């Protein structure tokens, strides 16, 4: 069944309602790690890692950017930013939305929405807390990305790095993936709400900074996003009562983690050394702010120390990036 994404104003957030495809999986291709929900998950702990804040030599930057550009083209298809559609990604998303298990057990929708809108005060079960974490990320990310897309469309695309535009459209698809995860969990469609006033203002301010400073916050956000997604994967056991649903939601989160890893390494490869050094320092207070912004992380048992410790251990390198992104 088609799954619309409801935006802040009640209209579809991105384009028209997605059309379902026929049953079955799309043909795998380089860069897209599509496996059946019944297949084996990625063993993230066994992968090589990279330091998101390490300064790179000129040769490393050139090599990694070339590899990333080819990776994006193979994964997403030809870039058409004004249409806001990545053709290969769109086909993949329609296939994802047309198949897969949905949670058959009880779901406390009332408690979820009470907390989602900031009205809830009672303790929640771990599964509902898990869903509130991904919903919070969805709201903030969609708001920020929509502003960035509009910014590029207004000022024109001349001279824009295609990787930046690819990354923005990938972030746009994350909204659909996360809403699909909520649907698979038994919540149905989740209507987006605007971020808190303070968060909206911070996003607006950051978008007006020069790129050198702005990318400090972006890199920290992408790296922390990788850490949080890994934590969510580690706690995917909250869905273990229905293994097919658990496998499906794991797969959806892994697709976002693959993108966020690419966005992190791209930021690192394009930022000057001083900005990387500043990012390494700035990530500590930004991580603390994230814990305040998404209190349900703490309810899941996540601590500021764990979040920062994940970054100190490095970000795992997905198998599809190993040929051009060496472990460090």
The predicted-structure confidence for 77-91, as pLDDT tens digits, reads as follows 998 899 999 999 998
What's the rounded mean pLDDT across residues 143-147? Answer: 81
Taking 60 as the threshold, does the pLDDT of residue 218 lie above it? yes
pTM: 0.84
Taking 50 as the threshold, does the pLDDT of residue 26 lie above it? no
User: How high is the pLDDT of residue 224?
Assistant: 93
Taking 80 as the threshold, does the pLDDT of residue 2 lie above it? no
Taking 90 as the threshold, does the pLDDT of residue 166 lie above it? yes
DSSP-assigned letter for residue 50: E
Taking 90 as the threshold, does the pLDDT of residue 159 lie above it? no
User: How high is the pLDDT of residue 25?
Assistant: 32
| Reported confidence tier of residue 275, pLDDT bands at 50, 70, 90 | very high
User: How high is the pLDDT of residue 207?
Assistant: 65
User: How high is the pLDDT of residue 198?
Assistant: 65
What's the rounded mean pLDDT across residues 30-53? Answer: 69
Distance CA 29, CA 47 (A): 21
- What does the angle CA 171 – CA 187 – CA 146 come to, to the nearest 5 degrees? 25
Lowest-confidence segment of 99-113, 138-152, 285-299 by average pLDDT:
138-152
User: How high is the pLDDT of residue 86?
Assistant: 93
What's the rounded mean pLDDT across residues 274-281? Answer: 96
The closest alpha carbon to 222, from 302, 286, 313, belongs to 286
Lowest-confidence segment of 112-116, 195-199, 274-278 by average pLDDT:
195-199
| Reported confidence tier of residue 8, pLDDT bands at 50, 70, 90 | very low
The contacts of residue 96 (CB under 8 Å, 6+ apart) are 177, 180, 252
User: How high is the pLDDT of residue 238?
Assistant: 94
Characterise 123 by phi-psi region: left (phi > 0), alpha (psi -120 to 50), beta (else): beta
The closest alpha carbon to 304, from 215, 237, 228, 253, belongs to 228
User: How high is the pLDDT of residue 210?
Assistant: 66
What's the rounded mean pLDDT across residues 23-48? Answer: 54
| Reported confidence tier of residue 223, pLDDT bands at 50, 70, 90 | very high
The per-residue pLDDT of the chain, averaged, comes to 82
| Reported confidence tier of residue 204, pLDDT bands at 50, 70, 90 | low
Beta strands in 2-103 (DSSP E): 49-50
User: How high is the pLDDT of residue 266?
Assistant: 97
User: How high is the pLDDT of residue 192?
Assistant: 67
């Amino acid at each position: 069944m088609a799954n619309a994404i409801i935006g802040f104003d009640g209209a579809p957030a991105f384009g028209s309602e997605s059309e379902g495809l026929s049953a079955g999986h799309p043909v795998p291709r380089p860069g897209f790690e599509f496996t059946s929900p019944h297949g084996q998950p990625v063993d993230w702990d066994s992968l090589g890692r990279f330091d998101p804040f390490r300064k790179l030599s000129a040769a490393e930057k050139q090599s990694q950017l070339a590899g990333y550009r080819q990776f994006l083209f193979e994964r997403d298809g030809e870039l058409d930013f004004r249409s806001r559609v990545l053709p290969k990604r769109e086909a993949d998303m329609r296939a994802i939305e047309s198949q897969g298990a949905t949670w058959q057990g009880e779901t406390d929708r009332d408690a979820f929405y009470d907390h989602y809108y900031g009205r809830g005060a009672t303790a929640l079960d771990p599964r509902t807390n898990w869903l509130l974490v991904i919903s919070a990320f969805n709201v903030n990310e969609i708001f920020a990305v929509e502003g960035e897309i509009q910014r590029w469309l207004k000022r024109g695309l001349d001279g824009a790095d295609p990787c930046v535009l690819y990354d923005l459209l990938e972030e746009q698809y994350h909204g659909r993936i996360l809403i699909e995860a909520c649907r698979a969990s038994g919540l149905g469609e989740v209507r987006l709400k605007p971020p808190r006033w303070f968060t909206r203002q911070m996003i607006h301010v950051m978008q007006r900074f020069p790129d050198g400073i702005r990318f400090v916050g972006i890199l920290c956000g992408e790296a922390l996003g990788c850490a949080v997604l890994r934590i969510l994967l580690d706690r995917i056991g909250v869905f273990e009562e229905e293994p097919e649903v658990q496998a499906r939601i794991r797969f959806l989160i892994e697709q976002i983690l693959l993108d966020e890893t690419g966005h992190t390494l791209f930021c690192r490869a394009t930022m000057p050394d001083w900005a990387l050094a500043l990012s390494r320092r700035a990530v500590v207070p930004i991580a603390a702010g994230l814990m305040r912004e998404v209190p349900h992380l703490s309810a899941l048992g996540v601590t500021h120390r764990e979040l920062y410790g994940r970054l100190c251990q490095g970000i795992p390198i997905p198998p599809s990036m190993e040929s051009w992104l060496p472990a460090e």
